[in-house]
Amino acid sequence: MPGHIAVPALGSARDRPSTLSKEVLQGVLRGDLGCDGLIVSDALDMGGARQNAWDGKVAVAAVRASVDMLLVPPDALVAYQSVLRGVERGDIPFARIDSAVRRILEAKARVGLHRNRTIDLKALPLRVAEPVFADRLDRLFDKTITLVKNERDLLPFAGAAPPRILLVDFVFSNDRDSEPDIFAEELERRAATLRRIRLTPRTAPTRAKEIRPQDGEVALLASSELLIPSENNLGTNAARDRCMTPRSSQEV
């Protein structure tokens, strides 16, 4: 899943998000990295994808760039019709559609959707909370997050002088403003002091000016959500412990 971020260093235009960039998806992801898997766009109703082009043009650009599945287009019919016209005009090679369909069908076959095309949504939370999925979640945590820089040897949190932390937490929904946060709670346990600023669409205009580290504070910017079935929190504690107590200063 490419993000809606421009990466000019990879040859893409300064105002072109990676989701729509042939240089990033074909050149780097497919070419340099040798990825032949399914590419799913980030949500196409986000401003980062829509700000410089009409929604239909965005859908066409994403498919041309090598996106196989278009996630959350603002209008699915507009996206479909635009891609169809793009193929008919020759803007999108038919081979591009053929390869996308092949990858989608292969992904469906791997999880058995060609045998069972319906899902019981009510039973889904218990299904994904089974131990086999918790184990996969643990392995994903092990491989997903890598610390690239560790200036001032801040990680792991250990030693006689715990850091003073300013946590700036971006939450993209007003109704989540008061939810508890395991990440903040664990930071508070390990930090000398923790000053937290939670920004929502409602509070950001007035609280943004508070984002200024005080003497000796380390600023952390966070914006993430972890979906764990409410009926069973298998894997949560182990994942949290690995994130907060890394095995070395190069991994968190």
- C-beta separation of 221 from 231 below 8 A: no
Residue 187 φ/ψ, nearest 5 degrees = -60, -40
The pLDDT, as a whole number, for residue 239 is 36
> Under a CB-based contact definition with an 8 Å cutoff, are residues 218 and 193 in contact?
no
Mean pLDDT of 1-24: 88
* pLDDT tens-digit readout, 161-181: 677 888 888 776 555 544 557
Domain presence at residue 1:
no
- 8 A C-beta contact, residue 98 and residue 91: no
pLDDT band at 245 (very low <50, low <70, confident <90, very high): very low
Identify the pLDDT of residue 25. Answer: 95
156 and 107 in a single domain? The answer is no
Question: Are the beta carbons of 155 and 246 closer than 8 angstroms?
Answer: yes
Residue 248 has pLDDT above 50, yes or no: no
- What's residue 226's pLDDT? 41
Q: Half-sphere exposure of 10 toward its Cβ, with a 13 Å CA cutoff? A: 19
CA within 13 Å, CB half, 96: 22
Residues 25 and 106 both lie in one domain? yes
Q: Are 104 and 156 in a shared domain?
A: no
Q: What is the DSSP letter of 14?
A: T
Q: Is residue 210 part of a domain?
A: yes
Q: Are residues 97 and 36 in the same domain?
A: yes
Helix, strand, coil shares, percent, the chain, to 5? 45, 10, 45
Give domain status of residue 94, yes or no: yes
Specify if 136 maps to a domain.
Answer: no
Residue 29 lies in a domain: yes
Burial class, 112, CB count within 10 angstroms (exposed 0-12 / middle 13-18 / buried 19+): exposed
For 62, how many CA atoms within 13 A lie in the half-sphere containing its CB? 35
Residues 6+ apart with CB under 8 A from 186: 240, 243, 244
Neighbours of 231 (CB within 10 A): 10
Tell if the pTM clears 0.85, that is, is over it.
no
Number of domains in the chain: 2
At 189, list the tokens: 């346990």
Is the pLDDT score of 236 beyond 50? Answer: no
Dump pLDDT digits (tens) for 121-141: 888 878 878 888 888 888 888
* Assigned domain for 233 exists: no
| Amino acid residing at 229 | P
**pLDDT, tens digit, 9 for 90 and up, residues 74-115:** 999 999 999 999 999 999 999 999 999 999 999 999 988 888
Answer with the one of 111, 134, 161 that is the final residue of a domain: 111
Answer for the pair 58, 20: CB distance below 8 angstroms, yes or no: yes
Q: What percent of the chain has pLDDT over 90?
A: 35
191 in any annotated domain: yes
Per-residue tokens: 150: 């560790």
In this structure, the answer to whether residues 156 and 91 fall within a common structural domain is no
For 65, residues 6+ apart whose C-beta sits below 8 A from its C-beta are 19, 20, 21, 22, 24, 25, 26
Confidence bin at 148 (pLDDT 50/70/90):
confident
Question: How much of the chain exceeds pLDDT 70, in percent?
Answer: 82
Q: Cα(129)–Cα(131) distance, rounded to whole angstroms? A: 6
What pLDDT does residue 115 have? 86
The helix (H) or strand (E) run that includes residue 197 is: strand 193-199
Tell me if 5 is assigned to some domain: no
Q: Are residues 159 and 94 in the same domain?
A: no
Domain that holds residue 185: 150-224
Is the separation of the CB atoms in 228 and 235 below 8 Å? Answer: yes
